[in-house]
C-alpha cells in the first residue's frame, strides 16, 4: 500500500491578531542589558522549555514577523469595556482580570471607573464595529471571518513600555457552546501585556495559533508571562541581546553547530533518510502534544493496535507524546485525524492517502495536522494487512517522509504483545524529534551541515 502526499491550504478557525506600534525615543539611550548575576538567576529559575517558548511568543508578532525588542507594562493597566457587552462578556473581563492578578505579577489589572481614561480599551461588537474601532489602523477583517471568533490587539509602546492598548473582540453566533469565549478575552488581555505572538508548539497553550476548545492558561504560559515581568528583564531588551545571553538554551541560536553535535550521536542514521523528511525543501514535525482522532468503523483489534503503537512511539522520544482523543463532531484543526472506510466494490485490499497540513504564520512553522484516509475492502488480504497499515500510517504521519511500500518487518516487529520499531526508523524518529532539529530547517542548510561533517 502506498499513501499519497499532497499539500493543503489550512483554514484558520479562530483569529488572534496583534499589532504593535513602537514609538522611538527622542533621546539616545544605552542598550538595556542584564548582569551576569541576574542571568544566572533567570537560568536557575526558568527551564529551557520556558526560555524557548518565551523567545517565540515575545519576539515574534503575528502577521508582522520578528519583533526586535521586548515590550511590557510598567504601571498598573486599567481596562475600560466599550461597545455592546453582554453581562456574560463583562463577567469574562472581570474573571480574566482576577485570574491574571492571582499570578502575583509586579503589575495589577483593574476595571477603569466610568468616565476615567483607561490604558486599555476593550471593545465588544459585531465584525464591522470591531473593524471601525481600530481605524485608522487599517485592520483588515474579511467577511469570511464572520464564521469564527475574532480577537485583536493594537498596542502602542515607547522605549519598550506599553502605554496604550486597544482590544477588539467579535463572537460568532455559530458557537453555540460558548466554550472558547472566555479564553479569547483572557488571551487578548494577556497579549496586551506584551506576549504578542502565538505558537503551534503547544496545542493546550492559551497561545496556540489554531482552534482548540481544550486550550487554557497552562503552567508554561504562566512561566512565560512571569519571566516577561521579572524586574531584571528590562523593557526594550533586544532580541539580539536575548539570543546572545541565552544562546546555549535557545535551540534556534547557533542551530547548525547544535545539529552537527546531534548528528554525531546518531552515526548509523543515513543522511539520505533524513533528507526524505524534508518536504518542499523544509523540515517540519508535529508538536510534542499530538492527539489522534479516529472516525469510521473501528474494530476491536484496531483499538488494541492503536494503543500499542502509541505506547511504542511515545517510548522513542520525550518529545513524542501521542494521545488517543475522542473525535468531536467537527473535525479538529490539529493532530492526526484518521478516517476508516469499508468499500465492497474496491478492488485493492487497502487504499489510502495522507494529507499533511502545515502552519506557517508563527515564528516556527509546524506540521500541525494529518488527514489520513484508509479504505478497506472485504477480502481476507485486507484483514491481514489492516493492522500493519494502521501502524505504518501513524508512523509516517509523525514525519514528512513519504511512505513507501516496505518489506514485512522493515518498519517494526510485532510479537502480538508489543510493537518494536526497527533501529533504522526508531533512530530516525529520535533524531528528528530532538529539540535541536528545529522546525523550519531548510534542506539546503542541512546539506551544508552534511558537508561540514565530512570535512
Domain shared by 181 and 238, yes or no: yes
Task: Answer whether residue 363 is part of any domain.
Answer: yes
Burial class of 205 by CB neighbour count within 10 A (0 to 12, 13 to 18, 19+): buried
- Is the peptide bond preceding residue 136 cis, with omega within 30 degrees of 0? yes
26 in any annotated domain: yes
Residue 178 burial class via C-beta count within 10 angstroms: exposed 0-12, middle 13-18, buried 19 and up: exposed
Residue 365: C-alpha distances to residues 152, 201, 286, 448 (Å): 21, 9, 10, 21
H/E stretch holding 198: none
Q: Which residues pair with 216 in a beta bridge?
A: 205
Q: What is the pLDDT of residue 2?
A: 32
90 part of a folded domain: yes
pLDDT of residue 14: 45
Domain boundary, last residue among 219, 245, 271? 245
Which CATH number is 62's domain given? 3.40.390.10
CA distances for 264 relative to 114, 219, 283, 358, 426, angstroms: 64, 34, 19, 29, 16
Give yes or no: residues 178 and 140 share one domain.
yes
Question: Rounded to an integer, what distance in angstroms lies between the CA atom of residue 320 and that of residue 334?
Answer: 15
Ordered per-residue pLDDT tens for the chain, 455 residues: 333 333 332 223 345 555 555 554 444 456 789 999 999 999 999 999 999 999 999 999 876 788 899 999 999 999 999 998 999 999 999 999 999 999 999 999 999 987 788 999 999 988 888 888 887 555 555 554 566 778 888 888 999 999 999 999 988 877 666 778 899 999 999 999 999 999 999 999 999 988 888 889 999 999 999 999 999 999 999 999 999 999 999 999 999 999 999 999 999 999 999 999 998 999 999 999 999 999 999 999 999 999 999 999 999 999 999 999 999 888 898 999 999 999 888 889 999 999 999 998 899 999 999 999 999 998 999 898 999 999 999 999 999 888 876 666 799 999 888 999 999 999 999 999 999 999 999 999 999 999 988 77
Q: Same domain, yes or no, for 300 and 380?
A: yes
Task: State the Cα–Cα distance between residues 332 and 264, nearest whole angstrom.
Answer: 38
Query: 236 in the Ramachandran plot: left (φ > 0), alpha (ψ -120 to 50) or beta?
Result: left
Query: 206 and 323, same structural domain?
Result: no
Q: Are residues 204 and 274 in the same domain?
A: no
Q: Which residues contact 330 (CB under 8 A, 6 or more apart)?
A: none
How would you classify the pairing of strands 366-376 and 412-414?
A: unpaired
Tell me what pLDDT residue 1 has: 36
The CATH number of whichever domain residue 374 belongs to comes to 3.40.390
Number of independent structural domains in the chain: 2
Could you tell me if residue 209 is inside a domain?
yes
Residue 10 covered by a domain: no
Strands (E), 308-446: 321-324, 335-342, 350-359, 366-376, 412-414, 419-421
Decide if 7 is inside a domain.
Answer: no
Question: Does residue 185 lie in a domain region?
Answer: yes
Specify the 3-state DSSP secondary structure of 154: strand
Tell me: do 177 and 287 sit in the same domain.
no
Q: Are residues 25 and 164 in the same domain?
A: yes
Residue 268 lies in a domain: yes
263 and 177 in a common domain? no
On whether both 412 and 297 belong to a single domain, the answer is yes
CA-closest candidate to residue 358, choices 333, 388, 376:
333
CA gap 132, 105 in Å, rounded: 33
| Residue span of the structural domain in which 417 resides | 256-448
Choose among 439, 215, 438: nearest CA to 332: 215
Do 225 and 331 belong together in one domain? Answer: no
pTM comes to: 0.90
Q: Of 216, 245, 274, which one is at a domain's C-terminal end? A: 245
Say if residue 170 is in the same domain as residue 31.
yes
Give, for 180, the enclosing helix (H) or strand (E): none
**Domain boundary pick from 245, 276, 304:** 245
Same domain, 36 and 87: yes
Amino acid at each position: 500500500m502506498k499513501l499519497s502526499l499532497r499539500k493543503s491550504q489550512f483554514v484558520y478557525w479562530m483569529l488572534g491578531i496583534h499589532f504593535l506600534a513602537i514609538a522611538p525615543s527622542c533621546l539616545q539611550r544605552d542598550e538595556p542589558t542584564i548582569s551576569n548575576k541576574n542571568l544566572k538567576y533567570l537560568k536557575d529559575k526558568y527551564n529551557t522549555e520556558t526560555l524557548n517558548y518565551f523567545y517565540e511568543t515575545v519576539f515574534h508578532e503575528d502577521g508582522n514577523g520578528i519583533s526586535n525588542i521586548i515590550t511590557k507594562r510598567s504601571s498598573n493597566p486599567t481596562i475600560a469595556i466599550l461597545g455592546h457587552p453582554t453581562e456574560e462578556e463583562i463577567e469574562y473581563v472581570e474573571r480574566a482580570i482576577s485570574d491574571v492578578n492571582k499570578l502575583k505579577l509586579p503589575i495589577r489589572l483593574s476595571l477603569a471607573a466610568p468616565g476615567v481614561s483607561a490604558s486599555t480599551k476593550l471593545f465588544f461588537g459585531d465584525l464591522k464595529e470591531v473593524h471601525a474601532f481600530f481605524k485608522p489602523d487599517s485592520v483588515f477583517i474579511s467577511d469570511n471571518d464572520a464564521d469564527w471568533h475574532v480577537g485583536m490587539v493594537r498596542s502602542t509602546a515607547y522605549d519598550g513600555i506599553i502605554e496604550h492598548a486597544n482590544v477588539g473582540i467579535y463572537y460568532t453566533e455559530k458557537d453555540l457552546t460558548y466554550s472558547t469565549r472566555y479564553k479569547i478575552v483572557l488571551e487578548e488581555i494577556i497579549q496586551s501585556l506584551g506576549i504578542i505572538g502565538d505558537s503551534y508548539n503547544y496545542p493546550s497553550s492559551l497561545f496556540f495559533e489554531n482552534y482548540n476548545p481544550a486550550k487554557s492558561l497552562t503552567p508554561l504560559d504562566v512561566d512565560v508571562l512571569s519571566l516577561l515581568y521579572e524586574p531584571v528583564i528590562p523593557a526594550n531588551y533586544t532580541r539580539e541581546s536575548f539570543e546572545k545571553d541565552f544562546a546555549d538554551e535557545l535551540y534556534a541560536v547557533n542551530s547548525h553547530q547544535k545539529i552537527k553535535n546531534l548528528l554525531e550521536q546518531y552515526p548509523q542514521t543515513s543522511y539520505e533518510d533524513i533528507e526524505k523528511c524534508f518536504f518542499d525543501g523544509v523540515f517540519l514535525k508535529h508538536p510534542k502534544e499530538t492527539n489522534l482522532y479516529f472516525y469510521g468503523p473501528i474494530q476491536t483489534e484496531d483499538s488494541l493496535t492503536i494503543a500499542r503503537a502509541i505506547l511504542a512511539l511515545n517510548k522513542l522520544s520525550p518529545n513524542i507524546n501521542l494521545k488517543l482523543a475522542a473525535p468531536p463532531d467537527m473535525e479538529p484543526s490539529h493532530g492526526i485525524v484518521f478516517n476508516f472506510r469499508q468499500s465492497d466494490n474496491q478492488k485493492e485490499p487497502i487504499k489510502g492517502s495522507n494529507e499533511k497540513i502545515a502552519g506557517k504564520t508563527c515564528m516556527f512553522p509546524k506540521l500541525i495536522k494529518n488527514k489520513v484516509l484508509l479504505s478497506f475492502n472485504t477480502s481476507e488480504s485486507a484483514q491481514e494487512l489492516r493492522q500493519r497499515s494502521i501502524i505504518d500510517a501513524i508512523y509516517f504521519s509523525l514525519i514528512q517522509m513519504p511512505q513507501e511500500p516496505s518489506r514485512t518487518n522493515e518498519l517494526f516487529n510485532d510479537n502480538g504483545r508489543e510493537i518494536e520499531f526497527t533501529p533504522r526508523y526508531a533512530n530516525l524518529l529520535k533524531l528528528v524529534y530532538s529539540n535541536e532539529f528545529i522546525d523550519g530547517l531548510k534542506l539546503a542548510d542541512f546539506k551544508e551541515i552534511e558537508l561540514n561533517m565530512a570535512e
